[in-house]
Chain A
Amino acid sequence: MIGGLFIYNHKGEVLTSRVYRDDIGRNAVDAFRVNVIHARQQVRSPVTNIARTSFFHVKRSNIWLAVVTKQNVNAAMVFEFLYKMCDVMASYFGKISEENIKNNFVLIYELLDEILDFGYPQNSETGSLKTFITQQGIKGQHQTKEEQSQITSQVTGQIGWRREGIKYRRNELFLDVLESVNLLMSPQGQVLSAHVSGRVVMKSYLSGMPECKFGMNDKIIIDKAGKGGVTNEAGKSTSGKQSIAIDDCTFNQCVRLSKFDSERSISFIPPDGEYELMRYRTTKDIILPFRVIPLVREVGRTKLEVKVVIKSNFKPSLLAQKIEVRIPTPLNTSGVQVICMKGKAKYKASENAIVWKIKRMAGMKESQISAEIELLPTNDKKKWARPPISMNFEVPFAPSGLKVRYLKVFESKLNYSDHDVIKWVRYIGRSGIYETRC
């Protein structure tokens, strides 16, 4: 299991060190500093073995978090734990920075005592941790017996993510379908790989212990339902693509996985406030919101002509926002002249790229940029690697085609029904790694 956890600043000074196992000595702290943080060349793996001791590390801005162990631990668990630890810290005191860590070191020690016991991760739900560990010191001495046992039963219980007795005057929930669409396209416009990774994020303000059921246009469910009725074929032909094929999905721990496995229905008791209900991935029939057409011509040894056309490919009534096209330039660029029809374009020497920004663009439109790049003559034999042209944008629909069909809320003990809950649904598609080779 986990032998110890160290937090360092960028200089390699220890900010927090908690050792859980006897086989980890103080010299482990230095070993990591010397061999990883101060290593002469960039570290080439997030797992390092130094003299039979293994170190796992992640970096958050310039803070290093390292887990050390001498055993054959579950490596995936260690990283999941480190991410979780970061989330927990962030939810207590915001950004993980040297200052914040120093300011909250007592709190961090308390958390580390609670979250890890003898190197075994225990309870890491911020919701329940905050009921008895706070930044203003610990609650506990003034609680009643009932409150105490409520805390412990929540921490260890089946529904560790929600406490009893939550009340809202207005029962309300917000659903965000957030997708990032990833693309790798060849210069000739052939899709090399494309996938959407999506998340359903929910903010729930519901009283009591509501039971929720979430439905979407998952092909498997629709086909299943269709077998019973006759509407299936007709439905498909009238409104085109109705259901989507989801490659895989993962759920928040509140979702009953066995029920999903057997009936493919998503039912759960939601945590209070904001959380991620599910993640999913699709690769079929993705709507690619933009197409990038690059044209790069080398004119002699000292000049490069670049022309890039972007085409928006969605309903004309919708507007894409925050569009940014990043065209890499060679390292020996001496000057750039840019002409673009729309938006603003600038050559950023420090980033070796021309950045072209467009605030808004409607569907089924086209825009183009052309640039002349002057190069310094070099005797470097190596050719320029031509990094891909990347793109950022935001569109108000889900590129995977996912639609929320329903979200039903049942609370048997309290007197509100599904109809009384105010529900909001929003779709946002963003670019993930959206690249076109040139």
Chain B
Amino acid sequence: MTDSKYFTTTKKGEIFELKAELNSDKKEKKKEAVKKVIASMTVGKDVSALFPDVVNCMQTDNLELKKLVYLYLMNYAKSQPDMAIMAVNTFVKDCEDANPLIRALAVRTMGCIRVDKITEYLCEPLRKCLKDEDPYVRKTAAVCVAKLHDINAQLVEDQGFLDTLKDLISDSNPMVVANAVAALSEIAESHPNSNLLDLNPQSINKLLTALNECTEWGQIFILDCLANYTPRDDRESQSICERVTPRLSHANSAVVLSAVKVLMKFMEMLPKDLDYYSTLLKKLAPPLVTLLSAEPELQYVALRNINLIVQKRPEILKHEMKVFFVKYNDPIYVKLEKLDIMIRLASQANIAQVLAELKEYATEVDVDFVRKAVRAIGRCAIKVEQSAERCVSTLLDLIQTKVNYVVQEAIVVIKDIFRKYPNKYESVIATLCENLDSLDEPEARAAMIWIVGEYAERIDNADELLESFLEGFHDESTQVQLQLLTAIVKLFLKKPTETQELVQQVLSLATQDSDNPDLRDRGYIYWRLLSTDPVAAKEVVLAEKPLISEETDLIEPTLLEELICHIGTLASVYHKPPSAFVEGSRGVMHKRLPARTGSGESTESPDVGAAGGSAPEAAPSIIPSQGDLLGDLLNLDMAPPTTSGPPPPSTGMQMGGMDLLGGGLDSLLGGDIGGSPAMGAGFGAAPAVMPASLNAPVGGGLGDLFDLGGVGMPMGAYIPPKIVWLPAMKAKGLEISGTFARRAGVIQMELILTNKAMSVMTDFAIQFNRNSFGLAPAGPLQVLTPLGPNQTIEVSLPLSTVGPVMKMDPLNNLQVAVKNNIDVFYFSCQYPISMLFVEDGKMERQVFLATWKDIPNDNESQFQIKDCHLNSDAASSKLQGSNIFTIAKRTVEGQDMLYMSIKLSNGIWVLAELRVQAGNPNYTISLKCRAPEVSQCVFQCYEAVLKN
């Protein structure tokens, strides 16, 4: 018998036919009909119209048919609550059936029907089933309590089901115990302060007994529940550990990981000098390694968890480096995770092996993996001092391969190595300089420029090198521009005689010709410093930089502790606390590790000692990510924040203007741009400190001090480069190239007309076809003089948005006709939709919230913006220049969420959520709009604006 035939009924009148079949007298025909209904339901067709007919089939002694009807009921009862009540009687009757399988089926299904009227009737049968003689019914009823609680929590409490559920923890059947534990844990999560689970040594003992007997899944429920318990003292802790350890040999990886979680947590309480403590540590390594021979998806989960465990207790796996070597056929997600762990485990003892491997990986195919491998070599150099020299020579070998992205990545890490070991490896600079021309990524260019500036005195032609970058100054990214400015100033301070012209050139480029306030501010600061007190300038600009140390990306200790309590779960896979991705009250409780206690003295509340005990033994030293250290502010660039309020100080200003090199560091950093988790860790400040409070006064003061005219001007909107729209070949010698811009609220089409023909052109005119947003010329094309052969003229044509509308494909397509004395020519071009973003597009917060909720989820679309190296503040300010307004910003554990609004000229609102993770160049953007077809265009604008 095959069921696939049920999927193939697509003819008209299907519902009608089904209805007839459902009401047929023949059992077989009825069953067939129900199957067809379920098949239609699966593929997403709406078969709710058949509700009464299907429910009629419920009264049957055929179990298969019954199950199918139940499945239908679960799907549609909610949409037809009044009809669903018809089913109640059958349920109640089934709950008393002689067959335990049917009793269980009824109670299981009833719990899945989320209709108030039905739940009222559910209580009595449920109460009976919870005390049923058959364990299969009891275990099903236990889960049903959780279902009912999800529908109507009050009802469950009023009916006393919670107490019955608690009693089931002492049930004789292990599976009933496991399900009761699972149900109670879930209910307890939504009542954070209730004492629902009431774990005490007696109940723990019961759980541990059931642990040995129940199914693999039940073991997981019990272990996950145990992990929430805090033992009273180290003796209890040890005895639980002893009884959990055998689970490490279970074939189910989830059982193993949950056991690891319990052990990692309870170990905290054991005195370190205890023999058992070191035995336990030894026992943990083999099962963790075994997880790596599981299927790739599980390996991934295991590796993400091992990454946490290695940070918390590096000693466990310190001898197991080899198992993390990447296999050629590993999926990419496994490879990248292994690489991460290899670096964490790298030490003097194994560095030779690690380096040999990394070098091997750097020749692989996958670009991301290769980049990470190259970066890893640099991190090894910084982590293991003895290996630095070898790392540098490996990097040089890699540079010789001339593979473009390898070279660029290598240069970025070598810069870090220079900062860690100054005056040691500068001999390689010559090799680096050879590759100057091949660098096309901003990060690599900026790194190279930093190197040239920092070591200007050793590079004979430093001035030539920097000058070569200066030619295309305005095309560079902000990162590179800032770096170039600083580097040239350094060069000038080191070799003042030869480079005066150069420094003047860059200062004027930065201050007079740039729209970027940060660049301008920094330019002015240098300018004034240099002109008022060159000695002070030297002290500031060439000040000794603090060394960088260890690793950049250790997880902040309090977060790490919380994640350890979530081993095995999604939180440990994302490396984010549950509150970052779970909605509502569930899982928002922050878990923490227990405190170490001496035997005998018991802590009253687990929270009292937690703060002290949970502090890491030795706080790992962390490089704050870019921009957190003052040393970085001058030399390593970051894109500083821009808010809509008073102009904030550029980071360079904070430094130059207020001389904060010494003491006041911490206080200022507290108010710094926030957002990076590493910062909180490095300086003990809560990462939630928001910049606004401090920025405003400081920013205001500095704004006055450096009231230099243009500072307050908003950043210009993004204008795409001009491209050729109409080649001369097609238009009898007339070439038109152009772009669109929005200036002071007016949309302009900027055209360059070139006459490549031999005769003079006159009488220009322009017309648009109807288009999606009603763009039309607001006036005639102003070409006043005749255009002679080989002459070029720039014209800008103001546009209005009140022309006739017609939907185009693509949406932003514009068909244009240009006429001159010779002929009429047609071309089509695409305008960036950002031209249509109006200046009053900033929504009120409340309105935003309401609108966001109001727009159906189906209208939401998600996109990824790759390789964007701005931080969230810089991105926000950049976007604002194009009338994309940030309404609110939230920082959740290193991930910045920016909420933005856009208004189009025709009144359409687009809401956006931009997620920026520190250190991750890929942004995620969700767009919500009532007219979802604009989303794609809006996304393209985001990409264009952010990347330019």
CA distance A46 to B186 in the complex (A): 26
Nearest A-chain residue to B182, judged by Cβ? A120
- Interface bits A66-82 vs B (CB < 8 Å: 1, else 0): 00011111111101111
A278 to B586, CA, bound (A): 38
Q: Mark B386-410, 1 if CB is under 8 A from A, else 0.
A: 0000000000000001111000000
Determine whether B546 belongs to the interface, using a CB cutoff of 8 Å to chain A: no
* Interface residue stretch chosen among A104-112, A211-219, A360-368: A104-112
Q: Among A52, A70, A75, A141, point to the contact of B301 (Cβ < 8 A).
A: A75
- Cβ of B683 within 8 Å of any chain A Cβ, yes or no, is no
Known A118-B111, A251-B250; judge A47-B573 contact (CB<8 A). Answer: yes
Check if A15 is an interface residue, CB within 8 A of chain B. Answer: yes
B220 to chain A, nearest CB (A): 5
Within 8 A of A (CB), among B724-756: none
Stretch at the interface among A252-260, A288-296, A297-305, A399-407: A252-260
Q: Looking at the complex, which one of B176, B215, B251 makes contact with A252 (CB distance below 8 Å)? A: B251
Task: Give the docked Cα–Cα distance between A434 and B253 (Å).
Answer: 25
A83 touching B293 by the CB < 8 A rule? no
Contact of A333 with B by CB under 8 A: no
* A122 and B135 contacting across the interface, CB-CB below 8 Å: no
Give the Cβ gap from B78 to chain A, nearest Cβ, in Å.
Answer: 9
Question: What's the least CB distance linking B192 to chain A, in Å?
Answer: 14
Interface string of B838-878 (1 = CB under 8 A from A): 00000000000000000001101010000000000000000
User: Among the listed A71, A157, A260, A388, which residue makes an inter-chain contact with B582, where contact means beta carbons less than 8 Å apart?
Assistant: A71
Interface residues of A in 248-268 (CB under 8 A from B): 248-253, 256-258, 260-261
Q: Smallest distance from the beta carbon of B682 to chain A beta carbons, Å?
A: 28
B216 at the interface (CB under 8 A from A): yes
- The complex places the Cα of A435 from the Cα of B137 at a distance, in Å, of 53
The 8 Å CB contact of B290, one of A76, A80, A248, is A248
Are A75 and B573 in contact (CB-based, < 8 A)? yes
B42 & A77 in contact (Cβ 8 Å cutoff): no
- Of A22-30, A232-240, A311-319, A423-431, the segment with at least 4 beta carbons within 8 Å of chain B is A22-30
* Residue pair A193, B322 in contact (C-beta under 8 Å): yes
- Answer yes or no: B643 CB below 8 A from chain A CBs: no
List residues of chain A with CB within 8 A of the CB of B247: 257
Asked if B96 is at the interface (CB within 8 A of a chain A CB), the reply is no
**Which residues of chain A have C-beta atoms less than 8 A from B287's C-beta?**
248, 250
- A325: Cβ under 8 A from any B Cβ: no
**Per-position binary interface string of chain B over residues 202-233, scored 1 when its CB falls under 8 Å from any chain A CB and 0 otherwise:** 00000000001111110011001000000000
**B857 and A25 form a contact (CB under 8 A):** yes
CB of A80 within 8 A of CB of B252, answer: yes
Q: Are A151 and B297 in contact (CB under 8 A)?
A: no
From known contacts A1-B186, A250-B250, infer whether A138 and B573 are also in contact, taking CB-CB under 8 Å. Answer: no
A77/B857 contact (C-beta < 8 A), A122-B217, A257-B249, A281-B289 known = no
Q: How far is the CB of B131 from chain A (nearest CB, A)?
A: 15
CA distance in complex: A192, B214 (Å)? 41
B100 touches A45 (CB 8 A): no
Q: Interface residues of B, CB < 8 Å — how many? A: 120
Asked if B254 lies at the interface with its beta carbon under 8 angstroms from chain A, I say yes
Near B by CB (< 8 A), chain A positions 331-386 give: 381-383, 385-386
Partner of B136 from the list A46, A102, A156 (CB cut-off 8 Å) is A156
A282–chain B nearest beta-carbon distance, Å? 11
Per the bound structure, the CA–CA distance linking A14 and B253 in Å amounts to: 29
CB-CB contacts below 8 Å: A274-290 with B: 276, 278-279, 281
Asked if B134 CB lies within 8 Å of chain A CBs, one says yes
A-contacting residues, B162-204, CB 8 Å: 173-176, 179, 182, 186
Interface string of A400-438 (1 = CB under 8 A from B): 000000000000000000000000000000000101010
B277 at the interface (CB under 8 A from A): no
Chain B hits for A279, CB < 8 A = 251, 290, 293
Asked if B723 lies at the interface with its beta carbon under 8 angstroms from chain A, I say: no
Closest beta carbon of chain B to A32's beta carbon, Å: 12
B258: CB under 8 A from chain A? yes
Given A14-B42, A46-B300, A79-B295, residue A184 in contact with residue B570 (CB < 8 A): no
Contact A118 B571, beta carbon cutoff 8 Å: no
Instruction: Report the separation of the CA atoms of residues A269 and B353 in the bound assembly, to the nearest whole angstrom.
Output: 45
Are A250 and B401 neighbours in the complex by a CB distance under 8 Å?
Answer: no
Q: Are B98 and A145 in contact (CB under 8 A)?
A: yes
The listed residue (A27, A79, A102) touching B4 by CB distance below 8 A is A102
In the complex, the answer to whether B254 meets A123 with C-beta atoms within 8 Å is no
CA distance A195 to B858 in the complex (A): 50
| Residue of A14, A82, A156 contacting most chain B CB atoms (<10 Å) | A156
Residues of A within 8 A of B317 (CB): none
> In the complex, what residue of chain B is closest to A43 when comparing beta carbons?
B333
The verdict on B427 contacting chain A, using a C-beta distance below 8 Å, is: no
Q: A74-B569, A248-B290 are in contact. Are A435 and B71 (CB under 8 A)?
A: no
Please name all residues of chain B whose beta carbon is closer than 8 Å to the beta carbon of A383 when the two chains form the complex: 363, 401, 403
- Residues in A with CB closer than 8 Å to B146 are 118
Binary interface encoding of chain A residues 190-225 relative to chain B, with 1 for a CB under 8 A from any of its CBs, else 0: 001101010000000000000000000000000000
B68 in contact (CB, < 8 A): yes
* Selected contact of B3 from candidates A56, A104, A153, A155, CB within 8 Å: A104
Kindly identify which residue among A17, A74, A79 contacts B42, using a CB–CB cutoff of 8 Å: A17
The answer for the CA separation of A109 and B108 in the assembled complex, in Å, is: 14
Query: Which of B38, B98, B360, B402 is the most central at the interface, judged by chain A CB atoms within 10 Å of its CB?
Result: B360
CA of A155 to CA of B147 in the docked complex: distance in angstroms? 22
Min C-beta distance of A153 to chain B, whole Å: 7
The B-contacting residues of A in range 112-147, CB under 8 angstroms, are: 113, 117-118, 120-125, 132, 136-138, 140-141, 143, 145
A45→B300 CA distance, assembly (Å): 8
Given contacts A122-B217, A192-B325, contact A72 B578 (CB under 8 A): yes
Given A45-B300, A155-B136; A76-B250 close (CB under 8 Å): no
The verdict on A61 contacting chain B, using a C-beta distance below 8 Å, is no
**Residues of chain B with a CB closer than 8 A to A121's CB:** 217
Q: Which residues of A contact B435 (CB under 8 A)?
A: none
With both chains docked as a complex, state the minimum distance between the C-beta of A431 and any C-beta of chain B, in angstroms.
13
A44 sits at the interface (CB 8 A):
yes
Q: B705 an interface residue at 8 Å Cβ cutoff?
A: no
Contact partners of B246 in chain A: CB under 8 A: 257-258, 260-261
* Assembled-state Cα–Cα distance A137/B64 (Å): 6
CA distance A186 to B360 in the complex (A): 10
Contact B566 A72 (CB under 8 A): yes
**Which of A23, A248, A252, A383: most chain B Cβ within 10 A?**
A248
Asked if A253 contacts B42 (CB within 8 A), the reply is no
Interface pair A49/B175, CB less than 8 Å apart: no
Most chain A CB inside 10 Å of its own CB: which residue of B111, B139, B297, B353: B297
Contact of A74 among B2, B6, B150, B568 (CB under 8 A): B568
A50 within 8 Å of B (CB atoms): yes
- In the bound complex, CA of A105 to CA of B329 (Å): 34
Q: Considering the chains assembled together, what is the distance between the CA atoms of A69 and B327 in angstroms?
A: 31
Check A148 for interface membership: any CB of B closer than 8 A.
yes
* C-alpha gap A80/B363 in the complex (Å): 34
Is A74 within 8 A of B220, CB to CB? Answer: yes
Chain A residues, CB < 8 A from B252: 80, 253
B581: A residues at CB distance < 8 A: 49, 52, 54, 72
A278 nearest in chain B by CB position: B251
Given contacts A1-B186, A156-B175, A383-B363, contact A72 B289 (CB under 8 A): no
Min CB distance A189 to B, Å, is 14
What 10 new A-B contacts, CB under 8 Å, besides A47-B574, A433-B327? Answer: A16-B42, A22-B114, A45-B300, A74-B258, A74-B568, A120-B182, A122-B139, A141-B99, A152-B134, A258-B212
Between-chain CB contacts (< 8 Å), 21 pairs = A14-B43, A25-B857, A26-B44, A47-B573, A70-B583, A75-B301, A75-B570, A79-B254, A79-B295, A102-B7, A106-B3, A109-B38, A141-B61, A153-B136, A156-B174, A247-B286, A253-B251, A260-B249, A279-B251, A390-B328, A433-B327
Closest 6 CB pairs of A and B: A248-B286, A152-B136, A76-B254, A102-B4, A261-B246, A77-B254
